[in-house]
A and B are shown apart, each in its own frame.
Chain A
């Protein structure tokens, strides 16, 4: 079993829809959590960090559930440009090492 797991999708949604992804992690030593966006044949780019209190950036909301060991990403009012793969990543304690999930692919259709 992988340490960080995601549903690979694809999630195929119409423009304007709300879509949510979950990511589960198995190591309770995980302390820092992130969502990355990766476009086809491009590098991962940080979308947002995930804090215990939850955080919001425009149409994007990220939440952390430590008790159940998962993080979530909610995208409201989906745009065509949101089509990409969304990777979650964790870090243990003060470790430099990012541990990624396999990513969830999102397709937003007109």
Chain B
């Protein structure tokens, strides 16, 4: 498809386990973002990539969270030692090079993570 693709769409994991969430941005988009949305809340910024490098990871809640984008396209959000409080939908978004205004950012459908 032409949009931002995220896998898995749903993931149930046990507390303490390791989880990887994948994002495939719109083809040609150099900027990639991860947001987290908890129930009843708006999305909260986690990390921003421009190309391969994380330009801003200030939103990552703690060192259990890490994200990579080794080839400047697909990104993986990694969560170690998951906790029940990590349960949320993780949204990936992308935008074209040099365009980071809200009206150029496109979201994927998200990965719904449940930690039991």
Contacts and interface: CB of A to CB of B under 8 A. Distances in A.
Contacts of A102: 40-42
B80 interface: no
B42 A42 contact: no
Residue from A94, A98, A101 with most neighbouring chain B CB atoms (10 Å): A98
B42 A87 contact: yes
A46 B109 contact: no
Nearest to A88: B42
B interface, how many residues as a size bin?
A: 20 to 34
Given A100-B42, A101-B42, A46 B110 contact: no
Residue from B35, B40, B43, B59 with most neighbouring chain A CB atoms (10 Å): B43
B45 A45 contact: no
Interface residues of A, number: 24
Nearest to B102: A34
B37 to A, nearest CB: 8
A89 B45 contact: no
A96 B100 contact: yes
Contact of A99 (B40, B45, B103, B108): B45
Contacts of B33: 96
Contact of B110 (A8, A32, A43): A43
